[in-house]
Amino acid sequence: MLGSCDWEHRDDTIDNTIRLTDLLQSYDLWYVDIDRTTGTGDVGFVSRAFTMSFMPGHEVYANNNMVGLGYTGDGYGIRIGTYRVYDRDGILSITDDIAGTYDFEVVQIDNYTISLTNRAQNVTYFLIGYQKNEFDYDAVFYDNVVYFLQEYEAWTKYYADLVSPSEPFVSENHLQFYVSANINSFSSSESPVNISVSQIFWDYSGAYVVENTSHQNRKGLKLYYDINNDREEFILKIIDDQHIRLRNILTGNVYKLEGRGNIKYRPVAKRFKKFHKNSSRKRYLK
């Protein structure tokens, strides 16, 4: 079940004697608080990460995906590269296996928050430290369902309970979620359910929005179709890492869909600010 997002009061006293290496390794996970990001640039392997970990063997691990969150890499995610630390200058140099090397100026904001600034890209990220046993993976998952939907090549219907058979969505058997021109977009298809993903013909497209509801483990999903300005609204329930349930708000029709073709790594993907008030004090805790 979804853990609550709570406020934690911790000692904000900064230890000015701690080495940068020890500071980075003092927490198992560093949550990338994307809403606090400042600047006009972007470092892709940071902005797409939900957490980053700086291991004793100078390897960098990151949780880039919602599928398997909390289980992949024993909760650390996947190895994305290596790092070097220049303690005297306060510089963290990360070599991403794909993107190459980027240098960051590290500033300790308080006892559990640091900032990483890359001046070449004009961007500053804020990271909040956690130990694995206090980190609420469920809360992070439900706060980022919009990205979870993008982690499969297609979602295919395998069950339908129809109260209103005349609903237009009844004929749509596949959904696909992705980012296009910095907009969360979707496509839907009337292709038969028993074909491969590569054979699906995508009939419709548009933009989608995931919203909170009064139930902690439910989300609202709105599909805004490009054609005729049509809109479908659903209550979304995550069954597990590969299955979702949609209930049409207007008709009561219920659909279950299975994710096909898990996308484990998206080189061009990034998270976007939610444009709501946030705070360094907001903590994901069990």
The DSSP bridge partners found for residue 204 are 188
Indicate if the pLDDT at residue 21 is higher than 80: yes
Note the residue count of the chain: 286
> Which of these CATH numbers, 3.20.20, 2.40.128, 3.40.1350, 2.40.160, describes 5-143+274-284?
2.40.128
* Per-residue pLDDT tens over the stretch 39-65: 999 999 999 999 999 999 999 999 999
Instruction: Determine the longest span between alpha carbons in the chain, in angstroms.
Output: 69
How far CA 254 is from CA of 18, 36, 134, 161, 217, in Å, comes to 55, 37, 36, 5, 17
**Residue 74 φ then ψ, to 5°:** 55, 35
* Per-residue pLDDT tens digits for 79-133: 999 999 998 899 999 999 999 999 999 999 999 999 999 999 999 999 999 999 9
Higher pLDDT, 215 or 164: 164
> What gap in Å lies between CA 242 and CA 262, rounded to an integer?
9
H/E run at residue 126: strand 123-130
* Model pTM score: 0.82
Which ranges in the chain are annotated with CATH 2.40.128? 5-143+274-284, 145-262
Q: How many Å apart are CA 241 and CA 257, to the nearest integer?
A: 11
pLDDT score recorded for residue 216 = 76
Tokens 């919203």 correspond to what residue? 211
Q: Does CATH place domain 145-262 in 2.30.30?
A: no
The pLDDT of residue 197: 97
β-bridge mates for residue 251, sequence order: none
CA torsion angle for 180, 46, 139, 37 (degrees, to 10)?
Answer: -80
